Structure 1
């Protein structure tokens, strides 16, 4: 499953990828690893843009202090966790780790959905995390922002919808998976096997 997901994430002929799976199946890790490889090594994209819904009802975060990335930081724990794993802090000296982290962080931009309108993303690798919490309208707004050379990756888990008025059938993630299923430049995969821990796997199955 993970190999197939990585293959479509790395395929330059695939412009839209949707990956569903429960907690711990490696959705964010795979998307981030593929994005970094194609941005830093292959130079296929100029940067990685990561976004997600910030509140269950989509409230504006504009009133919060700080820059756009500082406003988004509380909702980007998964990104930070996976970056720590990918940079492999157990290897290399402190200077090497610092240089690697700086290089990677300079190529990753965190953006709020509230700041997406009117933008066009050129040669970007766009990750939409927790996309099950977006409406069909929000999904359309995001995906139509894609300019030439941009790849969009939607990650989510239909069983973990936090937006009160959305269900598994009305979620924007379900909407785009259905509408892109017959397009030659899209791919979809549902990851079944957990990779986080046996505790996380058991919790996903029983709680």
Structure 2
């Protein structure tokens, strides 16, 4: 997307667990602080490139070449994100207010993808009816340019599928 000139950068963000609303206690830069919560993204890149000899080098190359930035939801307020592809992961654990804060930061030429699984809500304060993901799906259903994609099934593992259905 970046190499083809569709966007200037890719921003990946997600909710952080409510027990650690602030990532300030972790050492390092914002990206280094976000690394534990964004491991799902790097896990996916590793699966795609598991045959590569120097996987870490390849992942760093991909992230640099594609200008992939890991950003905290906590630092989105006040920003104006222009000409970017934003991947907002784990939206099921965000409130409607948090999603509004993030979506209203999207400027011209920006596309946002909000992904999540209502069966994987692990917030003590949200459920499938009160999740921000449910809220935006309903609010954006008639917005031109908005699409909702529902995927069924669990591809991670049989164990994960069993846990999702029974816990």
In the alignment, which residue of structure 2 is the partner of 1:26?
Answer: none
Give the C-alpha shift of residue 63 in structure 1.
3.1
**Number of matched pairs:** 165
Note the 1:39-188 alignment, pairs <5 A. 39-40=2-3, 42-56=4-18, 59-86=21-48, 88-91=49-52, 94=54, 100-106=58-64, 107-188=67-148
Instruction: Classify 1:70/1:99 alpha carbon distance in 2 versus 1 (closer, same or farther; 3 Å).
Output: closer
Q: Deviations over 1:112-138 (max 9, x none)?
A: 111111111111110111111111111
Superposed displacement of residue 193, structure 1: 3.0
CA-based RMSD of the aligned residues comes to: 1.9
Q: Which whole-Å CA distance do the structure 2 matches of 1:43 and 1:100 have between them? A: 21
With CA pairs under 8 Å and 6+ residues apart, which has the higher RCO, 1 or 2? 1
Query: For the Cα contact (< 8 Å) 1:56–1:133, is it kept in 2?
Result: no
Structure with greater helix percent: 1
- The alpha carbon displacement at 1:206 in A equals 4.0
Contact residue 130 and residue 157 of structure 1 kept, 8 A: yes
- Kindly indicate whether the alpha-carbon contact (under 8 Å) linking 1:57 and 1:163 is maintained by their aligned counterparts in 2: no
What are the superposed Cα offsets for residues 52-75 of structure 1, whole Å, 9 maximum, x if unpaired? 111225621123221001111111
Unaligned runs of 5+ in 2: none
Question: Contact conserved, 1:57 with 1:164, CA < 8 A, in 2?
Answer: no
Q: 1:58–1:145: structure 2 CA closer, same or farther, 3 Å change rule?
A: farther
Structure 2 CA distance for partners of 1:99 and 1:73, relative to 1, 3 Å: closer
5 Å matches for 1:2-13? none
TM-score (norm 1): 0.72
Question: Which secondary structure state, in structure 1, belongs to the residue aligned with residue 35 of structure 2?
Answer: helix
Report how far residue 79 of structure 1 moved: 0.8
Instruction: Tell me the alpha carbon deviations over residues 95-148 of structure 1, each in whole angstroms, 9 at most, x when there is no partner.
Output: xx6664333212111101111111111111101111111111110000000011
Q: Deviations over 1:153-204 (max 9, x none)?
A: 0111112212211121111111100000011200001100333334433443
With normalisation by structure 2, the TM-score equals 0.88
**What CA distance in whole angstroms lies between the structure 1 residues aligned with 2:155 and 2:97?**
32
